[in-house]
């Protein structure tokens, strides 16, 4: 239930952003916590805007090393200069 609410909130934020904004792509490291274990991976993200020093909605895919799986994600990020930091939620 909480997961569905968070996904709906992220999608709402993404749809509320200006339509004219240019999307951007980011590569990064992912760390997942849950089920009594920690897992690391690499990911690719599509952000709703390319504006520096702004918040953006994101969609992405992560490859998790220890489980050798690909997981889709949705989230929100703050775009800095040549970097980003964000919170993501796995969809699967």
| pLDDT tens, position by position, 36-81 | 889 999 999 999 998 899 999 999 999 999 999 999 999 999 999 8
Domain count, the chain: 1
pLDDT of 35 > 60? The answer is yes
Domain that holds residue 25: 2-90
Phi, psi of 53 (to 5 degrees): 60, 35
| All residues at 6 or more sequence positions from 38 whose CB lies less than 8 Å from its CB, including other chains | 31, 32
Give the global pTM: 0.70
């Amino acid at each position: 239930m909480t997961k569905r609410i968070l996904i709906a909130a992220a999608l709402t934020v993404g749809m509320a952003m200006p339509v004219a904004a240019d999307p951007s792509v980011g590569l990064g490291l992912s760390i997942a916590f849950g089920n009594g274990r920690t897992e690391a991976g690499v990911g690719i993200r599509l952000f709703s805007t390319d504006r520096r020093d702004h918040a953006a909605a994101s969609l992405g895919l992560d490859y998790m090393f220890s489980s050798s799986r690909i997981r889709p994600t949705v989230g929100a990020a703050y775009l800095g200069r040549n970097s980003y930091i964000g919170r993501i939620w796995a969809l699967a």
